[in-house]
Amino acid sequence: MDLDLKGKSVIVTGGGSNIGRAIVLGFAAEGANVTIGDIDVEQAQKTAELALRSGAATAQVVKTDVTRLDQVQAMFKTAVDKLGSVDVLVNNVGWDKLMFFTQTQPEFWQKVIAINYIGVLNCTKTALELMVPRNAGSIVSISSDASRQGEPREAVYGGVKAAINSFMKTIAKENGRHGIRCNVVCPGVTIPSTSEEVGTTSMWVDAGSMFTPEQLEKIAKSLPLRKVGRPQDIANAVVFLSSAKAAGHVTGQVLSVSGGYSMIG
């Protein structure tokens, strides 16, 4: 199916590694122009080069710390200067370190909030300033099924991701009259297929500190589909939701892509 994304201007934050990388390549396959905002420029550049080989009209990298509004604004300016507009924003940047809440400290809380939530606020505000005057646009934020179920060792992260779910619903209601659609994708456990998909700043750089092979096997067996997620699974949902042709009447939705871990009506 032609998703009518060819030539569209798409920004993907954290697009160098893992889920973000797959999202970039998903848009590339549709012939989009992709701007990757990432603090790991080397890894993002590898993804951009692969995106060009995969069909992207253009692919560029802008070093961006999403917790800093000035850097976010500079990233959007770079995209607009080159492409004239921003049609799609994917708030993908995320970070966590698995530990029980009693093991955490305020410094950790602030880092999780800044990367996972303040970054979404910065990017969404900047995107809306461009999209509202044009009466068009799509914003997709990556949340987590930890926001819907509650998950041990992800208390702060899950709470912040729940905030994203609520925030995006509100943004959808406020800006639907401007033709802007806002949706959320909630991954479950989603692991890179190869080490090449992971940059040095990724939370998956030391995969063994996240889950042991035995834990992943148990997780897979507990899911209705009997398998953990891969980045492409998430990318497929994001690209679909970004398409006005395929999902033009879909907004304010929180979609779990987790092998059936979360089933919320």
Catalytic annotation, residues: 157
Supply the DSSP symbol for 21. H
Amino acid at 45: Q
**Residue 52, burial from CB neighbour count under 10 angstroms (0-12, 13-18, 19+):** middle
The separation between the first and the last C-alpha atoms of the chain, rounded to the nearest angstrom, is 27
Q: How far apart, in whole angstroms, are the C-alpha atoms of residue 38 and residue 75?
A: 10
SS3 category, 89: strand
Give the helix ranges, DSSP H, for 54-114: 69-83, 106-113
| Tokens encoding 57 | 């009209």
User: How far is C-alpha 104 from the geometric centre of its chain's CA atoms?
Assistant: 25
Supply the DSSP string of 32-67, one letter for each residue.
-EEEEEES-HHHHHHHHHHHHHTT-SEEEEEE--TT
Q: How far apart, in whole angstroms, are the C-alpha atoms of residue 217 and residue 14?
A: 27
